[in-house]
Chain A
Amino acid sequence: MSISAGELNEFEVEAAAWFAENKPGDPGFLLPQSFMEVGTDQQFEFLRDWQRKVYEAGYLGLAWPAEYGGGGKHQAFQDIATAEMARQKVPFMTNTIGLSWAGPLILNMGTEAQKQAYIKRILSAEDIWCQGFSEPDNGSDLGNAQLRAVRDGDEFVLNGSKIWTSLGSYADYMILLARSNSETNTKYEGLSYFLSPMKIPGIDPVPIRKLTGEYGFTQTFFDNARIPDSCLIGEEGKGWQVAMKTLTFERAVSGGQAGGVHSMPVFAGEVVELARHAQRDGRPAIEDPLIRDQLVAFLIEERGLELNNQRAQIPGLNTEWPGAIAMARKLTNSEWRQRLNLFAVTLQGANASRYVDDALAIDGGRWQRGYFNSFSSTIGGGTSQIQKNIVGERVLGLPKSA
């Protein structure tokens, strides 16, 4: 597919104008900072409607196949639209799990019927998706998942519970990893992977309160819930491989996501602005040499991470440890974001002690809340420690951790 620079520029101008015109104003209530923090019906409906609007305007799923509701265009168009969303700081696309993990997975290995049934409704946010991987006793050790899926004719009967289910309260479907056979040689065999409906008898999502006091995820109980075996994706007993594939989408090691931003973007430049207003010794904090040094360190790191994305595209500059940048991206970006949020809090001097809803909270307490919420990305989707194991083992070739 060849595209001209002119076409792309034209598209960019269009996209910039559309987002500028259609960017929702202040909804009058606090919006979540990422898809993992959607805690009220009001927030959810607002974000779902926004996603539908963006999709209908042609700025989401641009590179997904047209026959399933995508735009059928080159990825470059979607990248432009996504960059525009970040730049204009529009609200994020709330159906992240559908758009970025379940969707690419279904396109990659789903049946024709599954593609027909789900892809378009993921883009339009008619179907919201959630992920049922973690369990109360099995988190990092995902392969040890124990939720039971027992075959009964052409159905599976589900019993057990999943936990930390983001969007669990709102989801229509779940990508579900469950144990269909408990008598196997290794824990990795005997797992099966399902595209399971959520709104059926026997499935009950119960909200859990987060460290910020808000809601966003659930413990999801399964009590003799029955689903047809057409919900399987991949072969019965081969669920581990499907789960690993999912994680490559989730951690953006593989491409093919529908696009869009999935959290409120944070830029080091915003913290620079904060430093202009914060005070130290009767002067703007930005004049303090120690603070200046830290600001610059954040700017260097932000730039390095941006440039990494460009360099990752050039094979000749990735000969030593191919794939290192992509494999480490979740680790590097989530850790940077966490440190930046915390620094923004500490910059505020005594005002760092205020929190959201305090009349004098700086930027509405965004940084304090952002710092707490930043742990969603250093824990969710595989903790930073697990990411370091993975990069150490798969990229650097070090022996598996004991």
Chain B
Amino acid sequence: MREHAGTVPFTFDGKAYAGHPGDTLAAALVAAGVKLVARSFKLHRPRGIMAAGVEEASALVTVGYGAHAEPNVRATDVFLYPGLVATSQNAWPSLRHDIGAVNSLAASLIPAGFYYKTFFGPPSRWMIYEHFIRKAAGLGQPPRVADPDHYAHRSAFCDVLVVGGGPAGLAAALHAAEAGKRVILIEQDIAPGGSLLREAVTIDGAPGDQWAQTMVARIRAAGGRVLLRTTAAGYWDDNFLFAVERRVEPGQPGQGPAQVLWKLRCAEVVLATGTIERPLVFVNNDLPGVMLAGAARALALRHGVAPGRRAVIATSHDDAYRTAFALADLGVEIVAILDSRTAPAGPVIDAARARFAVFADARPLRAIRSRNALAGLDALVAGVRQRFDADCLAMSGGASPVLHLHRQAGGALAYDAARGGFLPGAGRQGNTTIGAAAGIHALASILDQADVVDPLGAATAPAPGPIWRDDVPGKAFVDFQNDVTTGDLALAQREGYTSVEHTKRYTTLGMGTDQGKTGAMVALAQIADLRGVALPEAGLTTFRPPYTPVTMGAFAGPARGDHAAPIRRLPLAAAHDALGALWVPAGAWMRPRAYPEAGESIGQASLREARMVRASVGVVDVSSLGKFEIAGPDALALVAAVCATPMAKLAVGRGRYTVMLREDGMVMDDGTLWRLAEDRWLITSSSGGAARMSRHMTYVADVLLGHPRAAVVDVGEHWAGLAIAGPRSAALLADLIGAPVPSHMGLCHGTIAGAPVRVLAASYSGERAFEVHVPGHLAHAVFAALVDAAQAAGGGVYGLDAMDHLRVEKGHVVIGAEADGRASPADLGMGGMLRKAGGFIGWQGLTRPALADQAGRRQLVGLTSIDGAGICEGAMLVVQQGEEPAGHVTTAAPRVAGQGAIALGLLTDGAARHGEVLLAWSPTRHSMVQVRVGPAVFHDPEGALYHD
């Protein structure tokens, strides 16, 4: 027993306590006499400490406060630190006087499948119920502010990964490390030893916990890495595991990363994951004061804390007898040992009988509640009911090997009737399971090289507890966290949810944050009994990662905020900043949206810039466009596969607009295609589609065409691109390069400000325009020259919004807006541009009847606001309110030339509906505008402006 008061201050529900260093929060609370720790998820039943580790199902609390608060922490899985703040969950106004506990009285109204049954009916009813349920049933609240903690990711490789720092794992890790292998040992506790932390054994003359410390030192001395407070949570293909290391406890502010997510690729994996004890099934087996026998023993032997004053031990096998000795040695009165076996025998039983009252053929029927905790129990002893007074009931219904990782890795199972459970079969990835997890319980067998003194060591496998057949009325729990009782399992069977997977979903069995670690096998035995089949036939649900809950921040690691994805910056970013650019993310790129002058809104600036282009000249940065060069004798074949438009007759030095299709015939991307030389081509594509196009072209070359004599080079990052557009662009550019500029869709080479440039006469704005390509590192001087010349001519720079206004007015489609992945070339008015002979990617897809016959397709149209009010992007197009939408607005813009508002849209049979008046209606943005349907071009439909 503890001899002095605690030194580590902490609070629970606002009350101050002090615990000992190394205490779990659970141990400190039990030591302080706190029994009621939580309210259950659905029924708000009083709950206390039930387990001693990560398997705890009942004692969930919130630890920390403010931004550091971590909800649903198992009180048994958080170690005390000075200033720890713990609060109870799911209780209002207080843990003791919980209004929601009325759920417990009204429990017959909330049976298994309640959700499913209730929510048949009109959706409006669901909304009302959901509101009520969310308040009544629940776990802890996540903090509403950003997580202030840092999380790191680390990768590591090893020859042998050992999961579990109990006796078997320590021995295996040391053996491998001393054989010269790279070893990593992972243990979820803060201390090594596993089961040794709760057993009175000596190994090689030292107490078990000290022997474990020595082993860790020896493993490290032999070059091994030991990660404590680290949980191996997932096991995937090819021996890839991830583990989460806690550097600070839940809710604890600290320096450096709070958690480290380890990604481990291992040559060999050894699982020494131990067992989890099973509860017994009887009425009120969830009362505070009822706990697993091993947990009671851990409190006594590891923490020196007595779990009560008067204890009853209820068990189905020898191992729990250890608890009687451990508690008695701490001064706890052992009222009785109830053994469900008819004739338990052996040295352990004999030793117990010498000190305690041992009853055979005995098992609990009902725990008796006084206030919110255990006061005693009714038991059945050799067929006779008998009452025992006790404030602690230490129970054990057998032990389940922890097979989660083994199963995640695809390992087989072997049923073992003596245990009433499964042992690991063959590992699919060459992994092995050792120690208690493999069904080996005797310490002397696990550590056959060591001198083990374990007088109470059980020789036989832990047998399962008896099946509960509703011997007395009341709630007997199999899943403590989700409030699933034997009655719920029976109801599921009666209502036809017989398979274990159906039972799980109907009752929520095993679906809590503990994933049914303690109760799953107990529930399975009950289900098998109800169905009258052997346990293996009842089936087993899937073990899914993670083994224990993982903070989302650990998965995200450093990839948060600006680090979530790389940001691509233009080579001229600094120059745009100097011009007062307002940046906007466009895919991975940051691009100038507009260059507002003092007092201008973004909309005003964009419209001014667009009108400047129509009136004189503007310069815009188009460096992010995709650019690909294809060269070689077979270049034409490659280009012809990718681009759906004719190009064989394209003269050297000329280009044309082109589209690239997916195999289903839908538009994937668009751009321009240029013949730089007889067997050398340049393709441009959209900024957002550049990465996809790069992959697509290599797929076509390597997979479809089988390595033609042609190379594809993604030159997007080599060239900066500057578009110069407007009626004065040709004269300005001719002046700068000192030579005549090419006609529309021609190209030339020249020099601007000493830098070599390539000039492509292409336009998206509807004005005479050029794209000037210059190597990125030489772009600053060229940009400066272009901007100076433009400003001298009454123009200047323009941004993405102005570019959008101009292209809408000209009716140019954009990938992602009009070409949304569901639009064929014909839908976008480009059907006539395709090669009649086919032979390009997507030609087969276009022959499908629905595409060949255009009836009913959504087609590109232009929309003009009748009263001039702005049209809402994304608005649906309807004939009148309440009707099915006939289409939607894809991009909206103000008129650049003139006043008013226009848009592009996709409209069912739109090509035949010019002149019709529709409503562009967006109920979510409270916008309704009358629009007239027309052709998708508002500016220079004949393209006269392209010619000098």
A and B associate: no
Residues of A in contact with B (beta carbons under 8 Å apart): none
Residues of B in contact with A (beta carbons under 8 Å apart): none
